[in-house]
Structure 1
């Protein structure tokens, strides 16, 4: 099968298009014929030698949408030919990938959008559960115009939460349209937040990682109910960093969010689409931190 592979750590230039063996599903696993794969910041971190240790050569990618191609032993609820989306066990920058947590793709949901859902849905749900925000509270989201931030804004608003979102100038209209209050990040943030939320901030979701934790702690009066998915210095401030292990999000919850996206009740912004062969360009955009939404690879 065709796949994008890297056999040494480095920049996007280490990615190469090659032929590898088709993976075989084990117990509880399905093999998916990939139609589209999501590109995420962790892909670039692992490629460059960050994140967790990986065996080389490696195929990047942790999420996909496609068609079930083969079933391993003990698989229930899915059949060959089903259209699915979800996280992958093997790299998703490939024609085939393995998974043990696929859910049905809603009818009418485009492949590229379907591939953009799993990681942002799981991440936004996980952090909101950790923060335990509820109706009447005020949530500050750093990086609110990115793909995770946009979904978190919408989910919090569904719960009756007042949302203030930080973003660059280009992303603020998007935040306002979702019913949140958009403000700029950087110097003077504490005063700007207090001017629009004199009642105070109940929780903070940091999806940006650009050094907002000290200001967040000042606004909260301490590190409690602050969660970051992007700042590696979280422990220095006593703030919770979440990479996925603290709260498991059930596949059924991700499936429900996919249904809402298909129905137009939620939106996941797609910033760019690239063919599989252009994975290096896709990762360059992702590495920049300025994609302004989800990046997706399409797989023929």
Structure 2
């Protein structure tokens, strides 16, 4: 598979699980899409016609407990971030995501089941150049004590994520991650969503997280981890935050070439930084595989640019 060409899925693959908030069963099917389609959610199982929505930043209508996509008719699909992370992380450019319920199934709380579905379906190269959004200058968002920024970067996409929880079992964790299909599958895809027992109890009482369990969440109390099987990584919590970053920033619509840094972040911060980038036409450009100059203020890195060297395709005003 040549990284300078767009990709899609060879065939369809289906996973079945429950919605983390509703607790109800839901089926999700990944399938091929044409060149330049991006990621398209199709909500089936509704009265009347199916509804489609393009997975991009303008479709985000809520980020409180998960990333929720919707349109003028209301919410369409919730908890979109893990399947989007799997597609972007595994190097898929174009895909249709059919969901027959209001939520993407939570599976085991990670992206592992979606990675397995992608591998089952297979990835094929399409006859069109891969396009990227290249960050040209820093953009920043601050929400309370949470800070996030995107910066120019010479080595594809990197996430530098720090979490700092009052819970002493989680505490402060830092993880730096350079995105590639291999690193995503090995280092991030299996990291599960996590929370504290008192938070879970509060969500249950409010009618949320009805599908949450020890089978799909890492749960802590004030002194220990409650999951008997233990952690998949010693720093699984911050790695899951990186997983969420990959999924939330997939809503840029194209792979990003840049460095994302966040401290005490989450879905709301990730989305705020992405909106700040896209709102500033001077902060980014669309590029294709070819030859390009380095942007001003780029960050040196010892890794190769994802998809090879890139060249300007067109400006953000015509993307």
TM-score over 0.5 (shorter chain): no
Q: TM-score, normalised by structure 1?
A: 0.26
The higher-RCO structure (CA 8 Å, 6+ apart) is 2
More helix per residue: 1 or 2? 1
Higher strand share: 2
